[in-house]
Structure 1
Amino acid sequence: MRKFDCPSCGADVTFRSAQSVYAVCAYCQSMVVRTDIDVRSIGVMAALPDDMSPLQLGSGGYFEEQPFTLIGRLKIGWRDGLWNEWHLLMADGKRGWIGEAQGSFSISFEVEGALPRDVEATVAHCRALLTSGKAAEARPGFAVQLGGATLRAVDIKLATCLGSEGELPFAAPKGRRTVAIDCIGRQGEFATLDHDGREAHAYVGRYVEWDAFRFTNLRPLEGW
């Protein structure tokens, strides 16, 4: 864990993960980028749209009997709705993501190393179609091989970052656009493929029931 003074307001900006390079100051909402020796501000993050998520920064939980803490969040919007991507830090230092959409939850971890060429080419092709106004031609149904499993694409969408908070492994300013492809396998596997205009990424995991996460330090909400 490392702490820096926010370049804008002087408040503590904490990086709990050694791989986090970006954070939003909790006090002044400055977007802060970490370098090897210091931090610098790259602007101000707009307030996140409110939602009814019971999760918050600092919420804890368990996955495969190992504890984790939520250290960052992306609020993502697309044509038909919104969802949250929570950046998590496992007790062993591994980072991952919890996707929260309409009451369902998934957990995934980034595939390390270069993606298979066919997967990278497919994601880039889908992005080209969606960003050029040819979304109807970007059809799901194709199969990809990831993490030793065969998964089938079930949804392709152009997503826009509506805001972020906490610490993240990349800069996520408001307006950042990505193509997101959701895939599922026969044994409950889940994967998201995305392309931010520069490179493709893949995150593999599975859907998990709420109770299985054993969440703690939840946001106070009426009815919970």
Structure 2
Amino acid sequence: MPKFACPSCGADVVFQSAQSVYAVCVYCQSMVVRTDVDVKAIGKMAALPDDMSPLQLGTGGVYEGLDFTIIGRLKIGWRDGLWNEWHMLLSDGRRGWIGEAQGSFSVSFELEEPLPRDVMASLERCLPQLVGNRESAEEVAPGFPVVLNGQSLRAVDIKQATCLGSEGELPFAAPKGRRTIAIDCVGPDGGFATIEHDAHEARAYLGRYVEWDSFRFSNLRPLEGW
């Protein structure tokens, strides 16, 4: 695993995934970006708001027969609450996300193919909301169909989400205050998708909801009652 000295405090910053580009130093909370041969600091990450999640960096588990380890986290807030997105590294080298919200859990993977034009158009009509210009944002109502990777889904919610903090390894920079427009979609048999745009890049994530027991988690954070 590549290891670098933190540019701010000199502590070791270890990248478990060869695909991780960003990481937060566990000692000084500097966000560092990995280049071809070194790392550089790009800002200071604020302390994450405390919560009662039993998951933590280093938690292990099983998904579809493959072992995984949690290597990063995003704490996300929106108008009606908070949720966690845990960045996981699977034993076959793939990276995914475990969404944790109000006691429910999901697993999703980033879609590699370009987003369909109609989906991009819906996102772009909402983008003025990210800079507070709601008058310029066209009204986009949920309910429209979305087809991603051959799956037929339906948009059920459109919201603005804000990063409240991050830790560990991440595939993109997620400083406190990073905002996105997100379209949540649902499909048959527990399938779902989230499509987001941060005013620079659009991403889509396909996944499904997963029961707690099927993860067979290990190395959980000690919490009373768990």
**Which TM-score band applies after superposition, normalised by the shorter structure?**
over 0.9
Tell me the equivalent position of 2:141: 139
Indicate which of 157, 176, 179 corresponds to 1:177. Answer: 179
* Kept in 1: contact 2:106–2:210 (CA 8 A): yes
Tell me the equivalent position of 2:57: 57
* Kept in 2: contact 1:124–1:200 (CA 8 A): no
Give the Cα separation in 2 of the matches to 1:132 and 1:217: 45
Supply the AA of the counterpart residue of 2:212: W
Q: Cα RMSD (Å) of the superposition? A: 1.4
Q: Which moved more, 1:146-155 or 1:45-54?
A: 146-155
Q: Is the partner of 1:137 in helix, strand or coil?
A: coil
Give the Cα separation in 2 of the matches to 1:51 and 1:190: 25
Using structure 1 for the length normalisation, give the TM-score: 0.96
* Kept in 2: contact 1:129–1:137 (CA 8 A): no
Q: Is the partner of 1:41 in helix, strand or coil?
A: strand
Tell me the equivalent position of 1:33: 33
Give the Cα separation in 1 of the matches to 2:63 and 2:43: 35
Deviations 1:165-205 (A, max 9, x none): 00000000000000111111022111110001012110001
Give the Cα separation in 2 of the matches to 1:175 and 1:16: 26
Give the Cα separation in 2 of the matches to 1:96 and 1:191: 13
Supply the AA of the counterpart residue of 1:65: G
Q: Which runs of 5+ in 2 are unaligned?
A: none
Tell me the equivalent position of 2:196: 194
**How far off its partner does 1:97 sit?**
0.6
Q: Which runs of 5+ in 1 are unaligned?
A: none
Deviations 1:118-152 (A, max 9, x none): 22222222333564326893321111001221011
* Kept in 1: contact 2:73–2:166 (CA 8 A): yes
Using structure 2 for the length normalisation, give the TM-score: 0.95
Give the Cα separation in 2 of the matches to 1:212 and 1:126: 37
Identity over aligned pairs, percent: 74
In the alignment of these two chains, the number of paired residues is: 224
Q: Is the partner of 1:159 in helix, strand or coil?
A: strand
Give the Cα separation in 1 of the matches to 2:44 and 2:126: 31
Q: Is the partner of 1:183 in helix, strand or coil?
A: strand
